[in-house]
Every structure is written in structure tokens, then in C-alpha cells.
Amino acid sequence: MNELDLRNKRVLIRVDFNVPIKKEKIISDTRIIASLPTIKTALKRNAKVIIMSHFGRPPEESYDYRFSLFPIVKYLKNKLPDIQINLVKNYLGGIKANIGELTVLENVRFNQGEQENDEVLAKKYAKLCDIFVMDAFGIAHRSHASTCGLAKFAEISCIGPLFFKELEVLTRVMKNPSRPLVAILGGSKISTKFNLLNSLSKIADSIIVGGGIANTFLAIHNNVGKSLHEPNFVKSANILLNKHNIQIPIDVRVSTEFSENTVAKIKQTNNISDNDFILDFGDKTINSLILLLNQAKTILWNGPIGVFEFPNFRKGTEMIAQTIANSDAFSIAGGGDTLAAIDLFGVKNNISYISTGGGAFLKFIEDNNLPIISIIKQRVK
């Protein structure tokens, strides 16, 4: 974007404002804060600035106020008090945008064909602008009408400063990291992370796994009770474990019920009962991981290792967050749950770089590419 003349141009910026909202109050504003410099730059350069985003998963082709961007517009008005900000609900037939104002298009997922990357819809988006700026790194692994489709049909397409910074930091870690590099990968399903674990193993010296992924590794040689795991992938997990330096817990916090106020009990991983839910790491595991992280020079973190939303099962995630924050290592954190944990434990200012992407963060590490990058490179040619 910074290489283009934006004066008097209709500049449509695809942002990622898919932030957690409860009772019309924004719980985490990390993604919005990260996008503000791009918006402010376009406004200062006298563009007619339009922004678009998705929010949640509403049913297509039907307006649902629960998924409106209204709370985000309200937030933006506080952050940009001198700018006229307009939320536009019906825009596919065309809109009027003015210099010095900010036009916010209502949730793109209200439009039929958005997630299917419908060409007709993408062409309607393209008619709204002279320049399309892709700055939504968090959705960059998806081929939607407001990302890949719009990039294909807009008169001029480019990436924004935030997107560029994300690529710059991740490329640095993948190609020339300071070592040792320790990666932390949480999540529920190992089945979706095989290629990623193989890709991570090529750049990481150690990989710490958490959540349902860790439970599937534990199930190779242990009973995991009622814990979230994938029995059909235990054999595949064993192959990964034998090939790579993957750290799995030696003790865990368990409960016989999955509820917020349930009491935690620490057990060795070879002593799990049939009725147990594994919900966090135990103290021995946490202490050993702290030692490992303290030796790291680069830390890549995506996903909590336990059910940190439950007070009695947040110690593992909290201690890892605090250790990363106190470390001299270059640290990158990404993913919605990771951002929520960072906010909860108050360590935002001590993480070297917070990525706005979750799936895109992981997809770029896995493939060293994203669909939108391929399209914009082709458009440049």
C-alpha cells in the first residue's frame, strides 16, 4: 500500500475485526489496534477510506444484529474522535465515500457467496474501490470473496503494512531464527496438524504440544479417560513422536467433570482413570517446560496448553505465558485463544511480536505461502 498514490482514490481495506464481543463490549481489541495504523495512514494520504471485515458465523443472506459490526464502529469512534465514521448496511449496489471520512461496510458474511468465494459477489466488491488493500492476515488462509476474489478483480490490489509486517516477522523466524527455537502448539485436533508438525520440526529444536493434541500423544502408551483426543490418529502420532523432538507431559491436572468450578487433581500420565478429563499440565511438566523455554532464543507460540478459561486449570498456560514474557528470547504469539490468554495474564507488552493470525499464522509456517499472496503476486506480474 505504501508504494501507491492514494490521493482521492477509493481505498477498500480488508481488515480482520473478528474480535471477541460479549454484551456489545469488546473483550480483546488486539486485532483492531493492529489495524489502526493502516487506516490512519490511508486517511492522512487523503484517500476515500472504506473498510470491510467479517465477524462471527452468521447465516448467509440474512441480517442478524448479533453479528453486526456496530460495537466495533462504536469502538472506532472513541479511537478516532475527529473522523466521521459511517456504518453502511446495503453497499453491494454502490456507495459514496468521502475524503476525511471512514466508511465501514457491514459484516461481509451477511452476503451470499462470501465464504464460497463467489465471483459475482467479488466483482461487486471490486466496483466499490479503485485500490484494494489486503491487510487481514488473520483470514489470509481462506479463499473468500472479500479476500482472494476481490484481489483478483479489483483494478489494483496490494497488501497493507500490517500484512507486510506479519510476513516479514514469520519469514525471519522460518529462514534465520536464533537458536534454540522452541515451538508451542496447542489445539484440539492432531489430525489437522500433521503437516504443520512436520514443517515445524524442520525449523524448531523442540515442540511442546498441549490440549487435545497432547492427549492424543499420551494415548500412545496411556489411558486418557474421557479426555479430548483422536483415537484414530494415535498410530500416526506415534510416528511423529519417534521422528521429532516433541515434548509431552509427564503429569497432568485432571477432573471427573468438565465444568468451570471443578477441583483439579494432579496425576502421573500413567495413572489416569476411565472417568478422568485431562484439562491442564501438572507441576513437574510445567517446571521442565520452564527450564526448556528459559534456554530458548526464539519462541513460537500458538494455542494454550490447557483449559485456561477454568481457574483451576490455567496454571500451565499462565506459567508458560509468564515465562515467555520474562524471557530474553524473540517471541511470536498468534491465534485467538492465545491472544485471549495473553490478555488474561497481562503479558501483552512483553511478547516481542503478537500476530493477528491464527490459522494463517500456522498455514504460512506449513506452506511458506498463502492463497492471497499467490494472487497478488500474479496481479503484479
357 is catalytic: no
Q: Percent helix, strand and coil across the chain, each rounded to 5?
A: 40, 20, 40
Q: Which numeric CATH code is attached to 177-350?
A: 3.40.50.1260
Is 17 known to sit in a ligand binding site?
yes
Give the C-alpha separation, 217 to 234, whole Å: 7
What CATH architecture applies to the domain 10-160+370-379? 3-Layer(aba) Sandwich (3.40)
DSSP 161-222: HHHHHHHHHHHHHHHS--SSEEEEE--S-STTSHHHHHHHHHH-SEEEE-HHHHHHHHTTTS
pLDDT at residue 298 in the model: 96
Q: Are 254 and 226 in contact (CB under 8 A)?
A: no
Match 453502511 to its residue by C-alpha cell. Answer: 88
pLDDT at residue 117 in the model: 96
Is 54 known to sit in a ligand binding site?
yes
> Which helix or strand (DSSP H or E) is residue 88 part of?
strand 84-88
- Look up the pTM and report it: 0.85
Separation in Å, CA 197 to CA 29, 193, 303, 366: 30, 6, 14, 8
pLDDT at residue 189 in the model: 79
Catalytic residue among 336, 357, 358, 363: 336
What is the Cα Rg of the chain in Å?
22
Is 31 known to sit in a ligand binding site?
yes
pLDDT at residue 27 in the model: 84
* Strand partners of residue 84: 101
Q: Are 58 and 66 in contact (CB under 8 A)?
A: yes
Is 55 known to sit in a ligand binding site?
yes
Catalytic residue among 189, 226, 284, 297: 189
Is 18 known to sit in a ligand binding site?
yes
Q: Are 113 and 60 in contact (CB under 8 A)?
A: yes
336 is catalytic: yes
Is 274 known to sit in a ligand binding site?
no
pLDDT at residue 173 in the model: 87
* CB-based burial label for 15 (10 Å; 0-12, 13-18, 19+): buried
189 is catalytic: yes
Identical fold for domains 10-160+370-379 and 177-350, yes or no, is yes
Is 323 known to sit in a ligand binding site?
no
Residue 58 CB coordination number (10 Å):
17
Residue 287 CB coordination number (10 Å):
13
Is 267 known to sit in a ligand binding site?
no
- Give every CB contact of residue 270 below 8 A, 6+ residues apart in sequence: 221, 222
Residue 205 CB coordination number (10 Å):
17
Q: Which of 122, 146, 145, 142 is nearest to 133 (CA)?
A: 146
Is 16 known to sit in a ligand binding site?
yes
Give the pLDDT of the chain (381 residues) as one tens digit per residue: 999 999 999 999 999 999 888 888 888 888 899 999 999 999 999 999 999 999 999 987 788 999 999 999 999 999 999 999 999 999 999 999 999 999 999 999 999 999 999 999 999 999 999 999 999 999 999 999 999 999 999 999 999 999 999 999 999 888 889 999 999 999 887 877 878 888 888 889 999 999 999 999 999 999 999 999 999 999 999 998 988 899 999 999 999 999 988 999 999 999 999 999 999 999 999 999 999 999 999 999 999 999 999 999 999 999 999 999 999 999 999 887 888 899 899 999 999 999 988 888 888 888 888 999 999 999 888
Is 142 known to sit in a ligand binding site?
yes
Catalytic residue among 31, 165, 253, 315: 31
Q: Domain extents for the chain?
A: 10-160+370-379, 177-350
Q: Which of 44, 365, 21 is nearest to 201 (CA)?
A: 365
Q: Which residues of 226-244 are buried (b: 16+ CB within 10 A; e: fewer)?
A: bbbbbeebbeebeebbeee
Q: Which of 330, 328, 285 is nearest to 306 (CA)?
A: 285
Give the C-alpha separation, 38 to 41, whole Å: 5
Give the C-alpha separation, 294 to 41, whole Å: 39
Is 135 known to sit in a ligand binding site?
no
